[in-house]
Each structure stands twice: as structure tokens, then as C-alpha cells.
Chains A and B, each alone.
Chain A
């Protein structure tokens, strides 16, 4: 079974700063997807960014980018030019891309606070 670990329960940065959220995972599989999901207060969880394990190139979505280190099983999220609206819980998640149950396995989350 796979596990996802987020070692930072809470982080706080000033608006416009860059922040990096860490995530490590453990799996014996070779083909999988990794995700960062954002859960704003009292709102639905939304996808921030996705990475296919077979791709060496790190995914980027506007101000959000990842540092995917497959050998180290590390998948960190970098948020550049942070904005007040980035305040949320951020969850790292894993899913195996092969057969069988494919519900996401989530980490415990990092509460990111952007200070004005």
C-alpha cells in the first residue's frame, strides 16, 4: 500500500513571497500520478497541479510548479508570488495508474497561511 507524508502541518509566509510545501511518498509501483489539491476554508477541494510519474519534466501551472524526484520519492510544490487567495489546506495525493482500486491516497495536509 502506498503512503503519503506531509511533514509541515502549517506554514505562514508574507504575500508575494515564494513558499515550498514538501511531500514524500512510498510505493512499490512504477506508474502512478501525483497531485497537489487545494482546499480553501469551507470550499471544495480543487486540483492545483498533476504530475505523471513517467515524465521527467516537472509540471508547471502558472505560479505553481513541482519538484518531482522519483528516485527520492519526493514531490514538493512551489508557489511563487504568493497571494492572499492561496491561503488554504494543501494536500499531496497519489494514485496508481494501473488496475484495481484507484482512489487517491492523501497526505495529512499543510495549512498554508498567506499574510498581508
Chain B
């Protein structure tokens, strides 16, 4: 399967712990996005990378959140000192260049975080 893969699919943690999610995009895609989706809501943009450069971060991305894409391939999203409000589905998506895809994103199945 050459789609976007995310790991782990589900993470349960206690408040105050750190968690890390990994995303492997489609191999030829140079853009990678992170979104957060809470129950009953549409996905909300968190951040995106073009190759290894993080080009934009949403105001939703507090200083407890950090994302990296060190070699322009896979990406990690770390949440430090988790809070119950961080409970959500974290979606990763990738895309080729804007001209080629017209903005279409290819999504992974998401990583669901539950903070107790």
C-alpha cells in the first residue's frame, strides 16, 4: 500500500505525559500537513511542511506541540504535557506540488489520542 500511513492508530495516555505521532506520506509528495479533528467537527489545520521546511503553523499549535520532518520524508508530531483538551484525532495528509494537485490532499487514517 502506497498511501499515507500513521502510527500509532490509537494512543491512551495520562494527563501530563508526552506523546509522539508519526506520519509517513506518499513517497513522491513533498508537502505534508497535520490536522486535528475533534468529535463533531471538521479537521482543523495545524501545520504544514514543504520538504523539510515547516512553512506555517496555526495558532492552534501551542508551544506544547512540536512537529518535525527532518529529512523531508516522514514527520513526527509531539505533544508535551498532554491535557484532556488534546484528546482528538490527529490527521496527516500529503500532496504533491500545488500546480500538480490543485490542492488535493491525501489523508492517512489518523492517530486518535485519548488523554485521561
Q: Using CB atoms and an 8 Å cutoff, list the residues of chain A in contact with chain B.
A: 4, 33, 35, 42-47, 50, 52, 91, 93, 95, 97, 100-109
Contact = CB atoms under 8 A, between A and B. Distances in A.
Most chain B CB atoms below 10 A, which of A45, A95, A106: A45
The DSSP consensus for interface residues of chain B is loop
Given A97-B98, A109-B40, 17 more contacts: A4-B42, A33-B102, A35-B103, A44-B3, A44-B108, A46-B107, A91-B42, A97-B102, A101-B45, A101-B55, A102-B98, A104-B103, A104-B105, A106-B43, A106-B44, A108-B42, A109-B42
Interface in B80-116: 91, 98, 102-105, 107-110
Interface size range on B against A? 20 to 34
Interface of B: 3-4, 33, 35, 40-45, 48, 55-56, 58, 91, 98, 102-105, 107-110
